[in-house]
Amino acid sequence: MSDTSPFQNARNPLRRLPSVLAAPTLRSRLVRAGRARPTREDELVKMLELDPLSAARALRAASPSVFGAQRSLLSARDIIQRLGEELGARLFDDEPCDIDGEGELLALWLHAIATGHAARAFAAQTGHADPDAVYMAGLLQDLPSWIERIEGSPRAERPTDWVVHWQLPAPFMALILDGTTAEQAERADEIVDAKTLIQAAKITAEFAGFAHPDSDVDALHQTIGAWSSEQMQVADNLRQMVESALEGAGVHPAHDGLFTPSRDNDASTENEQLRGPESLVLSILSSASPQTYREAVTTLTVAARDGGRFDRVFFAKWNAETATIMLRKKHDSSHRRMAETRIQVSPPERDRLELALQTQTPAVFGAEPNGDYTLLRGLSTDELLAIPLNHEFDKPSFLLLDRSLTLTPIGDEQELYAAKALGMTGSLLVQNLLLRRRRQRAQKFALTDPLTHLFNRRMGILSLEQAVARTERDRSPLTVLMCDLDHFKDLNDKHGHLQGDAALRTAADVLRSTVRANDTVCRYGGEEFLVVLPDTTPDEATVLATRMFTAVQARGEALGLPLTISIGLTCYRFGDTVESMLHRSDRALYASKDYGRNRFSADVEVDDTDPKRDEPPSPSGAA
């Protein structure tokens, strides 16, 4: 059978450069430092955290499908422990490799390490993800860029094709490929949080001077040259992390001028500008994860105003079809309410806003005498900074910042760089929230019954499994009720399926309102319901069952429906399984049916030697 894979005759790019540390410049340093052949776990972990190419090979070898799908991010130590020290040491057995464009590769290497360290620091400070695992995700973030540079010439296969072909774990692929495989990752929250942290880390690495080779380095250097001492301290912290890691491995990059950004700056901190982008990014990420869109907007507006000396911040939606700005929230020192929330912008303002969205670049609006500036007039300001958010949305947003009171000028280069970082992080924050909502909706549909909004059978069984395990561990009581609507088929045939659905929802509402918060009610199937009652004795459950069947009958009478329910009750016995408890509760349910329905029957025999154990349970609670 012929192999139709596009990689049938392709040479794996990593064969040309399997390890960044095999590049001649770095290899010679490692040899001089005696670190070229690490063998112990701690040494291997330290080296792996410095080598995105070896990390890609190690991750692939540590996560083959024969061992099951990997559903979470892995740290370098996780990977080495999965491989073992012997296999791990083989990652660094490579001989020095001659490769074109070594300088650009080293710049990409430093950017990857800085991104990893910044991501780890953000994760540690926010608690949103495992710091060491996020470090590895940050280190591997630019894997397609590595492939492009190693290949050195255009190939038929896209760089991302190799990432897919290597079958890296889904959580890493979701981050490397910009979330396109996030649906494969079981722990979607982890992916969302890690993606936000890594994107913020990439911004921070850029502003700390670890530029990606594709970045505008001249503009970056100009920006760094204008930094305040506070901003330089943030950059220095990240630089020290990177230098410490590299020097600890014997690489000593600073000795050979690999760190190029200038540190010579005496800019005053007494300016009226935004704080550094790192401070803004961290202030947003350090806040509690917003659970609602309103909370996300509040986080952004507060960060935008408090991150600099702005007088007011407006959050606004943009309607391109009508050229209308719709003000949704303001943040200033007053409690005034907005009387007008829609502003029809002028054609020049519309064009500037559209350009800002297309380029994802903040725009500064300045009024001129007799100019056509309806947006500026509506906000009573002569200067405005508009930061675009979520440009790909049908109705994107803007943060509108002004200094109409203090009249401090807006928009020098440093301020625009910080504003761009704020916009990118804000967009990620909103995307993060929307992804969480989609996951929650998908999870809700997967675990609940759409008609009754109760848990479905799968969740009911899972709840019972957990309750049985807990009871076996701490000997707490456990009772189960199996419930079934009486003569439901007749009700459907006589009153119609719509009324049948109403009867199911009514019974579900009664059961839901009767139990406690830590109890579980699920639609077991058809007109059957399962109720799991942890920490509940049989005596307590009989009171509950009586309330249930009498309340269902009363609600049915109020609706004019012949609605009643039969219940089977059983409790945990030593050695019980989920199946045995379901079997007894089902048997008790049919005893209720046999004895006239609209009642409950209990099978709570506890003596396993009792010869009467297998006899039908006695009925109780006849209506």
pLDDT tens track for 48-73: 898 899 888 888 888 877 777 777 88
Q: Residue 2's pLDDT band (boundaries 50, 70, 90)?
A: very low
Instruction: Answer with the residue of higher pLDDT: 178 or 441.
Output: 441
Confidence at residue 8, expressed as pLDDT on a 0 to 100 scale: 47
Confidence at residue 622, expressed as pLDDT on a 0 to 100 scale: 45
Sheet containing strand 520-525, edge to edge, reads: 520-525, 528-534, 478-485, 565-571, 600-603, 618-620
Helix axes 102-126, 143-151, angle to 10 degrees: 170
Angle 43-49-54 from CA coordinates, rounded to 5° = 95
Confidence at residue 373, expressed as pLDDT on a 0 to 100 scale: 83
User: Helix or strand or coil: residue 465?
Assistant: helix
Lowest mean pLDDT among 106-110, 206-210, 226-230: 226-230
pLDDT digits (tens, 9 = 90+) for 506-539: 999 999 999 998 899 999 999 999 999 999 999 9
- Picking from 276, 221, 314, the residue whose alpha carbon sits closest to that of residue 416 is 276
Confidence at residue 354, expressed as pLDDT on a 0 to 100 scale: 94
- Which amino acid would we find at residue 319? N
CA 501, chain centre distance (Å)? 36
User: Helix or strand or coil: residue 397?
Assistant: strand
User: CA–CA separation, 278 vs 575, rounded Å?
Assistant: 58
Q: What is the mean pLDDT of the chain?
A: 79
The predicted model scores a pTM of: 0.52
Confidence at residue 228, expressed as pLDDT on a 0 to 100 scale: 47
Lowest mean pLDDT among 79-93, 117-131, 212-226: 212-226
pLDDT of residue 90 exceeding 90: no
pLDDT of residue 435 exceeding 60: yes
User: Helix or strand or coil: residue 579?
Assistant: helix
For 233-247, give the secondary structure using H, E and C: HHHHHHHHHHHHHHH
Confidence at residue 4, expressed as pLDDT on a 0 to 100 scale: 47
User: CA–CA separation, 222 vs 241, rounded Å?
Assistant: 23
Bridge-partner residues for 228, per DSSP? Answer: 267
Q: Average pLDDT for residues 114-120, to the nearest whole number?
A: 88
User: CA–CA separation, 471 vs 478, rounded Å?
Assistant: 7
- Which amino acid would we find at residue 169? P
Angle 68-578-463 from CA coordinates, rounded to 5° = 70
Helix axes 229-248, 102-126, angle to 10 degrees: 110
User: CA–CA separation, 251 vs 244, rounded Å?
Assistant: 10
User: CA–CA separation, 212 vs 202, rounded Å?
Assistant: 9
Instruction: Quickly list DSSP for 246-311.
Output: HHHTT--GGGGT---S-----B-S-SSSPPPHHHHHHHHHHSPPPSSHHHHHHHHHHHHHHTTT-S
Lowest mean pLDDT among 223-232, 326-335, 420-429, 565-574: 223-232
Q: Average pLDDT for residues 88-109, to the nearest whole number?
A: 78
User: CA–CA separation, 227 vs 234, rounded Å?
Assistant: 10
Confidence at residue 513, expressed as pLDDT on a 0 to 100 scale: 93
Distance in angstroms between the alpha carbons of the first and the last residue of the chain = 71
pLDDT of residue 332 exceeding 90: no
Instruction: Answer with the residue of higher pLDDT: 569 or 427.
Output: 569
- Picking from 119, 286, 299, the residue whose alpha carbon sits closest to that of residue 197 is 119
Token digits for 282? 């961290």
pLDDT digits (tens, 9 = 90+) for 449-488: 889 989 999 889 989 999 999 999 889 999 999 999 999 9
pLDDT of residue 623 exceeding 90: no
Confidence at residue 192, expressed as pLDDT on a 0 to 100 scale: 52
Token digits for 340? 């007008």
Classify residue 85 by burial, with Cβ atoms within 10 Å: 0-12, 13-18, 19+: middle
User: CA–CA separation, 428 vs 615, rounded Å?
Assistant: 63
- Which amino acid would we find at residue 442? A
Helix (H) or strand (E) holding 111: helix 102-126
Domains of the chain: 13-256 (1.10.3210.10), 277-442 (3.30.450.40), 457-620 (3.30.70.270)
Q: Residue 417's pLDDT band (boundaries 50, 70, 90)?
A: confident
Q: Average pLDDT for residues 549-572, to the nearest whole number?
A: 93
Q: Would you state the torsion angle of the CA atoms of residues 483, 485, 487, 492, taken in this order, to the nearest 10 degrees?
A: -150
Q: Average pLDDT for residues 89-98, to the nearest whole number?
A: 76
Q: Average pLDDT for residues 290-311, to the nearest whole number?
A: 74
Do 477 and 535 meet the contact criterion of CB atoms below 8 Å apart?
Answer: yes
Instruction: Answer with the residue of higher pLDDT: 436 or 340.
Output: 340
Confidence at residue 284, expressed as pLDDT on a 0 to 100 scale: 60
User: CA–CA separation, 52 vs 136, rounded Å?
Assistant: 8
User: CA–CA separation, 155 vs 162, rounded Å?
Assistant: 11
Confidence at residue 67, expressed as pLDDT on a 0 to 100 scale: 73
Confidence at residue 398, expressed as pLDDT on a 0 to 100 scale: 93
Please list, in sequence order, all residues whose beta carbon lies within 8 angstroms of the beta carbon of residue 432, skipping any fewer than 6 positions away. Answer: 192, 193, 195, 196, 289
Give 378's Cβ-side CA count (13 Å radius).
Answer: 20
Strands 478-485 and 520-525, by their bridges, are unpaired
Other C-beta atoms within 10 Å of 418: how many? 26
User: CA–CA separation, 208 vs 218, rounded Å?
Assistant: 14
pLDDT digits (tens, 9 = 90+) for 373-410: 889 888 888 889 999 998 888 889 999 988 877 777 88
Confidence at residue 258, expressed as pLDDT on a 0 to 100 scale: 47
User: CA–CA separation, 195 vs 175, rounded Å?
Assistant: 6
pLDDT digits (tens, 9 = 90+) for 187-213: 444 555 677 778 777 877 877 778 888
User: CA–CA separation, 522 vs 163, rounded Å?
Assistant: 42
Q: Residue-wise over 103-113: b if at least 16 C-beta within 10 A, else e?
A: eebbbbbbbbb
Confidence at residue 608, expressed as pLDDT on a 0 to 100 scale: 46
User: CA–CA separation, 357 vs 338, rounded Å?
Assistant: 25
Confidence at residue 541, expressed as pLDDT on a 0 to 100 scale: 95
Helix (H) or strand (E) holding 312: strand 312-319
pLDDT of residue 237 exceeding 50: yes
Q: Residue 286's pLDDT band (boundaries 50, 70, 90)?
A: low
Confidence at residue 169, expressed as pLDDT on a 0 to 100 scale: 85
Cα–Cα distances (Å) from 187 to 170, 452, 493, in that order, read: 10, 27, 45
Confidence at residue 429, expressed as pLDDT on a 0 to 100 scale: 76
User: CA–CA separation, 501 vs 243, rounded Å?
Assistant: 67
Lowest mean pLDDT among 93-102, 214-223, 230-239, 250-259: 250-259
- Picking from 513, 515, 532, 511, the residue whose alpha carbon sits closest to that of residue 459 is 532
